[in-house]
Every structure is written in structure tokens, then in C-alpha cells.
DNA sequence: GCCAACGTTGGC
DNA sequence: GCCAACGTTGGC
């Protein structure tokens, strides 16, 4: 069998084909341990339907599919929980809500996968060997990959040292533990750890004391595990680099998954629990968790640490610092601050509009905006003054994160930020509207498939670009000058209190991380700004800023202002883009480069209502969901006093 | 009590 | 600063 993973990004002279297949015999022969070529009879995994999945997977990159299945279930549960929570709260059933919240946060902090899950047969070490990769899904070391092996005898190996101990006599100098392969040229010498015993923590009454655990004794693990006492191996040279950090991993098949090694997740680590938690009123304790990015120097709020060094990075610089970055990070702003704390990844964005809003409700900011109801009929948003749960334990959030992204789980938005930054059309978070309230008029185009919808948007974007000049990302320096002028011409008389004015005036509009950084700054500015009621800004993949009207009671339910890295914007209503000819676009700058401009636009939007479209012609149809029709040229947004756009009205008269 | 998962240390 | 090694926690 060819063990060479397809698509291995780096040429590695690893065991190939039959050589690989013969490796076990060779190894076991050298080890003098060939008597038991079968999995040990007591092997707890013998019933496991193991499969050799390696031929399609780059070593060290293969998605640990099976291991995350439990989390997927959790994710589903989570969504259901949220939905249930919302439904409960619609009737003001706070108790139920609390109950559900309790339920939610009583989810285990860790999820143990089944011991049988995820093991691959690993004949490269000999018959009966199995290997498993586990990517840490939470904690400060999230994204770190642990590799375990199980010997035919059932010995669990979790380090090279232990493996060496088990395979005593086997030359593992060329064996790369993490990838599980033999590397011609060898691998670096094993590090020798002479680890001092941890001192007894003082006054540790709440936890089992060191004495109780038995100082100087081995843990249960080490009793049954291997206690290697091997010195360092000397190997001739550096190993072949398996995964160039800058290499863009070519996804195999349709499977895309977050790069395991550099996934980021920024919970409040256990050691960081002294970090302030937001208070109910939005104040923050004196030790506000405002950090200075160690790279770019900007201030931000959150816990964006290098996973082991705890070095603070702002979200953007984190992304920039890692070639492979977890593409699914959302941000939650700490109350009273202008920064963000990391949130669950985008792969948790529900795929219904309500759920999306529910998702958004977790992106709680100083407004303590909490969406309590996703009931499809009576969707409402209330100010949640008891939001501590939501803001507190990231451990809970941890459980919501499923780093695996199967194709089936891939929602309709693009997940990989970095790979699609230049693709404007992919920036849209395509809300699924399947669960839209019945009372909300749908257009006939709602029935269109996403491709058509996408085309529709593209057309609109093109028209928009025609109208407003170069498409975003195509701006030249003159465009930047325009931004500046627009900023200066702003009127603030009618605005709510603006606590921070953000301008891209002196910022270059460019692609890539810089663009995302600029969007981030705008997002930050928006979150420091008193927004028109129940408008809420989030940063989504693309990157793209989305300012969403969250309230179903608003005239602008399901309206979204989309701002792309070039600060071009587009207004969508119920997923439908306003035609570029919409008069709204004439009133406001073609680019929204400041929080003030955004707020201005939102205030202007508030003067509109959603076109009511055409009522059903056949009253009998009213027994079912009321589906209103609209003219294909519906304006979607009409002045309040109009209620129906001229195009729909004309259609009605036909 | 086992052990998967995560935290922490310290060699490099 | 990285990350292998292994200590520790907590779910089961």
C-alpha cells in the first residue's frame, strides 16, 4: 500500500509504496518483537473498525474526522438549545430561559471521545500498531496536535520517548513521531526532559493536594503508561520539513478543514481567570483586559494570546503571524471597551437566519444586546441584563467549537477567510432564509438556488460598481483621497453620540490582512459608537463587515449593510440586494469609511420600510404561510408612507 | 479508577 | 520562541 499521502505539500522522501509496507516487518524484526503480529488479544481496540485513511491525507494534516463527531452533536445540541431558549423567552419565560442557559453551560468542559474513535492502523510501526491524532479543541493550547500510538499490546504511547521505550531496540532515529513516518535523513534528537517535581501548592485546600496525589509517585497514567528512561537519540541531521508554514495546503477532495497546527482559540485560560469579566452594566473592572498587540502595537481587548507563550496579539496580527490560521474566529467585544475577545468560529454560524441572529446574539457587546427569541413568528430582541453567563466562561464556548469542518457542515458562507479575501462575491454570508418568518414577504427569487442568487448579487454589485465607481479592492490612491474628503464632509448634527470617530483617511486600502485590519478598525469604531437601535456590526468571513438590523420589530427586519474591505457597501433586505439604482445609494457616500458614515446610513435606512409586496391573490392560500410576491424590480425599501414600491404596485395593477 | 484532553515545563 | 515531554484535570 502506498502510504504516501496525496497532496503532501512538501516533498518528502518518505517511505514509499512497498517500502512502507515492508517497514513493519523490518522494524519488528529489528525489535525482535515480531512474534505477535496481530493486535493483541486484549487490545481494546480490536473491535474498532479501523481504516487506513492515510493514503489520501498528508501526514499531520489529515482531519481527525471521527474524533470530532461528538462535538458535532454538541453543536447541534447547542443550536437546539439556543433555539429553544429563544422560543421560551418570547413569552417572557425567563425561568425557562435560565434553565436552558443552565443546561447550556452545564455542558462538559471537555468532551471525551470514545476510546475507540479515530484510530488508524499504522503498519509502518508494525502490525497491530495504531495511531491517532487529536487536535486540542479548547484551552490555551488549542490547535495543538497530540499524537498517540497504541502498540499491539495495548500500550498507549503519547510521546516519542514512550514510543522508543515500547519499540525498544528499534531505531527510531528517522521516525518522525508526529507524522508517524520515517524521514530519510532523520529527525532532530529527542529532547531530554529532566523535569523537577512540582512543588506542593500552598494552601491548596480546594483541590486534591499534592500529598493526596502522592508526591513522588507516578500518576495513574504513568503507572500504566510508559516511563521511558532513554537518553536522547543522536540523529544525523535535521528532518525534512514536512509542512512548510507558508505552504497553502491543497485541500484534498472536497474536504476543507482548519489547519490543525495553527488553529487559534482564545479562551480565558485557566491561568487567566483573573482577567476581568464584564459586568452587567458594561463597566469593566479596573484591570480592564486591554492588551497591546505585541506586533502592531494597537490596543485591543481580549485574550488573543500566542497559544503557549501567552503573547498578546490583536486578532489581525494573530492571523498575520500564522500562515495557517483558524479561519473561523468571531469576535465578541468586551463591554466598556473597544476591543474584542475571540468568539466561536464561524462554522458555528447557524445556517438559518434566525439562528444566525441567535448567533449574533452571542456576540454581545456593550449594548448587552441579547436575542432571546428566534421564534419564527415573534422574533424579538430584548436587552439582557443577566448576561453574565454569556460573557463568562469561554470554557463553555469551547465546547461549542468543532474545529472539524466537513463538507456537510460547511455552511453557505465561505469559511476560509484568507483564501477568499479577494473574492468579493464570496464574502457574503449567505443566510439561509428557510426559517424566515412567514409574515415576512418573500420574493419569488427566494426560491432561486443559491447560484442564481449569487449571480443576482453579482449583477447588483456590478451595477453598484458602475454607479459608484471602481469595485472595492480596485481602488487607486485617488479613492483613498475620496475617503478623506468624505470624512471631512460629514455631518454629525443628527447623529447619536459618537464616542469614537474612525476614519480610513490615512489608511491605505489594500488587500489581504491589511484590509481585514482596516475592517477590524472600523468594526471597533462601530462598536465604540452608539448605533441606531438594534443595529449590530459583526465581522464575517471575507473579510466583510455586516451591520445587521436584529430586531424583527424593526421596519428593517433582516436588513444588512455589507461593507467589504474596500469599504464599498451594499444593503440587502431579506438577502436581496437593493438595486444599485435605489435612491438610497444616492444619498450616501459610495464608501463607508467611518463609523459616522455608517451610522448616517443606518439612520437613513430607518426612514425606510420593507416593501410589502403583493398580497396573495387567492385568499384560500392564506391557510398556509403567507407568501407575498414582489416585482422582480422591487425596491425592497420604500419610504414609510409608501409601504409598497412603485414596481410592485404596478405589478399589482396588472 | 481509567484515560482523553489539556496545561505546563524546560531543552533546544 | 517553539514544541516535545509529561504532569494534571476531569469526564466517564
Q: How far apart are CA A404 and CA A259, in angstroms?
A: 10
Same domain, A457 and A518: yes
Same domain, A629 and A503: no
- Which nucleotide shows the minimum CA-to-C1' distance to residue A270? B7
Cell matching residue A277: 469579566
- Domain annotation covers residue A363: no
**Residue A218 CB closer than 7 angstroms to strand B?**
no
Q: How far apart are CA A248 and CA A246, in angstroms?
A: 6
pLDDT (0 to 100) of residue A314:
55
pLDDT (0 to 100) of residue A537:
83
- Domain annotation covers residue A24: yes
Considering A575, A591, A609, which residue would you say is the last residue of a domain? Answer: A609
Nearest to A581 by CA among A544, A629, A545, A634: A634
Nearest residue, CA→C1' of C1: A309
pLDDT (0 to 100) of residue A448:
38
**Residue A139 CB closer than 7 angstroms to strand B?**
yes
**Residue A199 CB closer than 7 angstroms to strand B?**
no
Q: How far apart are CA A368 and CA A365, in angstroms?
A: 5
pLDDT (0 to 100) of residue A611:
83
Same domain, A597 and A625: no
- Which nucleotide shows the minimum CA-to-C1' distance to residue A45? B3
**Residue A115 CB closer than 7 angstroms to strand B?**
yes
CA A220 – C1' B1 distance (Å)?
Answer: 8
pLDDT (0 to 100) of residue A171:
82
CA A272 – C1' B8 distance (Å)?
Answer: 14
Residue A71 exposure: Cα atoms within 13 Å on the Cβ side: 30
Query: Which three-class secondary structure state does DSSP give residue A347?
Result: helix
- Domain annotation covers residue A155: yes
Supply the CATH number for residue A134's domain.
3.30.890.10
Residues 74-113/A with CB within 7 Å of nucleic chain C are 108-112
pLDDT (0 to 100) of residue A626:
60
Domain range for residue A635? Answer: 619-652
Same domain, A501 and A635: no
Considering A574, A590, A609, which residue would you say is the last residue of a domain? Answer: A609
**Residue A207 CB closer than 7 angstroms to strand C?**
yes
**Residue A305 CB closer than 7 angstroms to strand C?**
no
Same domain, A501 and A435: yes
CA A48 – C1' B2 distance (Å)?
Answer: 19
Note whether A301 and A291 are within 8 A (CB): yes
Cell matching residue A141: 493550547
- Contacts of A363-367 spanning 24+ positions with Cβ under 8 A: A363/A330, A363/A331, A363/A332, A363/A333, A363/A536, A363/A538, A364/A332, A364/A333, A364/A335, A364/A390, A364/A391, A365/A332, A365/A333, A365/A335, A365/A527, A365/A536, A366/A282, A366/A333, A366/A335, A366/A336, A366/A337, A366/A527, A367/A531, A367/A536
**Residue A146 CB closer than 7 angstroms to strand B?**
yes
Same domain, A542 and A632: no
Q: How far apart are CA A268 and CA A388, in angstroms?
A: 15
CA A177 – C1' C4 distance (Å)?
Answer: 10
CA A67 – C1' B7 distance (Å)?
Answer: 21
Q: Quote the Cα angle for A528-A530-A535, to 5°.
A: 105
Burial A164-176 (b: 16+ CB within 10 A, else e): bbbbeebbbbbbb
Same domain, A642 and A501: no
Structural domain count, chain A: 3
Same domain, A513 and A441: yes
Burial A79-102 (b: 16+ CB within 10 A, else e): bebbbbbbbbbbeeeeeebeebbe
CA A193 – C1' C2 distance (Å)?
Answer: 15
**Residue A45 CB closer than 7 angstroms to strand B?**
no
pLDDT (0 to 100) of residue A235:
33
For the CA atoms of chain A, what is the radius of gyration? Answer: 28
Nearest residue, CA→C1' of B9: A195
Same domain, A627 and A518: no
**Residue A224 CB closer than 7 angstroms to strand C?**
no
Nucleotides of C under 7 A from a protein CB: 1-12
- Domain annotation covers residue A219: yes
Cell matching residue A9: 505539500
- Domain annotation covers residue A102: no
Same domain, A468 and A557: yes
**Residue A46 CB closer than 7 angstroms to strand C?**
no
- Domain annotation covers residue A547: yes
**Residue A102 CB closer than 7 angstroms to strand B?**
no
Same domain, A626 and A561: no
- Domain annotation covers residue A474: yes
- If chain A, 654 residues long, is cut into consecutive pieces of 10 residues, what is the mean pLDDT of each piece? 35 35 36 35 37 37 36 36 33 36 44 76 87 84 85 86 84 84 72 52 36 33 37 33 30 33 34 32 36 57 49 54 37 36 35 34 35 30 34 36 34 31 37 32 37 38 43 39 38 39 42 70 82 80 80 78 86 82 85 86 84 69 62 83 82 74
Same domain, A482 and A628: no
- Domain annotation covers residue A291: no
Q: Which H or E run contains A577?
A: strand A576-577
Q: How far apart are CA A59 and CA A138, in angstroms?
A: 22
Amino acid at each position: 500500500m502506498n502510504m504516501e499521502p496525496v497532496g503532501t505539500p512538501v516533498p518528502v522522501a518518505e517511505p514509499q509504496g512497498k517500502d512502507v509496507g515492508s517497514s513493519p516487518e523490518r522494524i519488528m524484526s529489528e525489535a525482535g518483537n515480531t512474534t505477535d503480529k496481530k493486535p493483541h488479544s486484549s487490545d481494546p481496540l480490536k473491535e474498532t473498525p479501523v481504516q487506513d485513511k492515510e493514503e489520501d491525507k498528508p501526514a499531520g494534516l489529515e482531519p481527525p474526522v471521527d474524533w470530532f463527531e461528538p462535538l458535532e452533536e454538541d453543536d447541534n445540541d447547542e443550536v437546539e438549545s439556543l433555539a429553544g431558549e429563544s422560543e421560551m423567552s418570547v413569552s417572557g419565560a425567563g425561568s425557562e430561559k435560565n434553565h436552558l442557559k443552565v443546561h447550556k453551560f452545564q455542558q462538559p468542559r471537555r468532551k471525551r471521545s470514545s476510546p475507540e474513535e479515530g484510530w488508524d492502523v499504522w503498519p509502518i510501526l508494525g502490525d497491530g500498531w495504531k495511531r491517532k491524532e487529536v487536535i486540542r479543541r479548547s484551552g490555551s493550547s488549542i490547535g495543538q496536535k497530540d499524537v498517540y500510538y497504541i502498540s499491539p499490546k495495548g500500550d498507549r504511547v503519547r510521546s516519542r520517548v514512550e514510543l522508543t521505550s515500547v519499540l525498544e531496540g528499534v531505531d527510531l532515529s528517522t521516525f518522525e513521531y508526529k507524522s508517524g513516518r520515517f524521514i530519510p535523513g532523520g529527525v532532530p534528537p529527542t529532547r531530554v526532559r529532566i523535569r523537577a517535581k512540582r512543588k506542593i501548592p500552598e494552601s491548596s485546600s480546594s483541590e486534591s493536594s499534592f500529598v493526596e496525589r502522592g508526591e513522588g509517585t507516578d500518576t495513574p497514567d504513568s503507572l500504566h503508561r510508559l516511563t521511558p528512561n532513554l537518553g536522547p537519540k543522536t540523529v544525523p541531521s535535521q528532518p525534512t520539513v514536512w509542512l512548510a508554514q507558508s505552504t497553502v495546503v491543497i485541500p484534498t477532495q472536497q474536504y476543507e478543514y482548519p489547519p490543525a497546527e495553527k488553529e487559534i482559540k482564545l479562551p480565558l485560560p485557566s491561568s487567566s481567570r483573573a482577567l476581568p469579566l464584564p459586568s452587567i452594566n458594561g463597566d469593566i473592572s479596573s484591570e480592564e483586559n486591554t492588551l497591546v498587540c505585541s506586533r502592531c502595537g494597537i490596543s485591543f481587548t481580549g485574550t488573543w494570546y500566542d497559544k503557549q507563550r501567552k503573547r498578546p496579539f490583536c486578532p489581525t496580527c494573530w492571523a498575520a503571524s500564522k500562515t495557517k490560521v483558524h479561519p473561523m474566529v468571531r469576535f465578541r467585544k468586551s463591554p466598556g471597551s473597544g476591543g474584542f475577545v475571540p468568539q466561536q468560529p464561524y462554522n458555528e454560524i447557524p445556517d438559518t437566519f434566525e439562528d444566525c441572529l441567535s448567533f449574533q446574539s452571542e456576540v454581545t457587546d456593550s449594548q448587552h444586546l441579547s436575542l432571546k427569541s428566534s421564534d419564527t413568528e415573534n422574533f424579538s430582541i430584548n436587552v439582557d441584563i443577566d448576561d453574565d453567563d454569556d460573557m463568562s466562561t469561554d470554557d463553555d464556548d469551547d465546547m461549542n467549537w468543532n474545529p472539524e469542518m466537513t463538507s456537510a457542515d460547511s455552511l453557505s458562507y465561505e469559511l476560509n477567510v484568507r483564501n477568499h479575501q479577494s473574492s468579493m462575491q464570496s464574502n457574503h454570508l449567505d443566510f439561509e432564509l428557510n426559517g424566515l418568518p412567514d409574515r415576512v414577504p418573500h420574493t419569488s427569487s427566494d426560491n432561486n438556488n443559491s447560484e442564481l442568487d449569487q449571480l443576482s448579487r453579482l449583477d447588483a454589485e456590478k451595477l453598484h460598481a458602475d454607479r459608484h465607481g471602481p469595485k472595492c479592492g480596485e481602488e487607486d490612491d485617488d479613492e483613498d483621497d475620496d475617503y478623506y474628503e468624505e470624512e471631512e464632509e460629514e455631518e454629525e448634527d443628527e447623529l447619536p453620540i459618537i464616542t469614537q470617530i474612525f476614519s480610513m483617511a490615512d489608511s491605505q486600502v489594500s488587500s489581504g490582512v491589511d484590509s481585514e485590519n482596516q475592517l477590524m478598525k472600523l468594526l471597533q469604531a462601530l462598536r465604540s459608537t452608539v448605533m441606531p437601535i438594534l443595529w449590530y456590526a459583526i465581522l464575517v468571513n471575507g473579510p466583510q463587515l455586516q451591520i445587521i438590523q436584529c430586531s424583527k420589530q424593526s421596519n428593517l427586519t433582516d436588513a444588512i449593510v455589507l461593507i467589504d474591505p474596500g469599504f464599498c457597501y451594499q444593503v440587502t433586505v431579506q438577502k436581496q440586494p437593493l438595486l444599485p439604482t435605489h435612491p438610497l445609494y444616492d444619498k450616501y457616500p459610495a464608501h463607508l469609511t467611518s463609523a459616522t458614515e455608517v451610522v448616517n446610513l443606518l439612520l437613513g435606512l430607518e426612514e425606510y420600510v420593507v416593501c410589502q409586496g403583493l398580497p396573495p391573490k387567492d385568499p384560500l392560500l392564506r391557510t398556509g404561510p403567507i407568501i407575498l410576491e414582489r416585482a422582480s424590480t422591487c425596491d425592497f425599501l420604500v419610504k414609510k408612507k409608501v409601504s409598497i414600491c412603485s414596481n410592485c404596485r404596478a405589478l399589482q395593477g396588472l
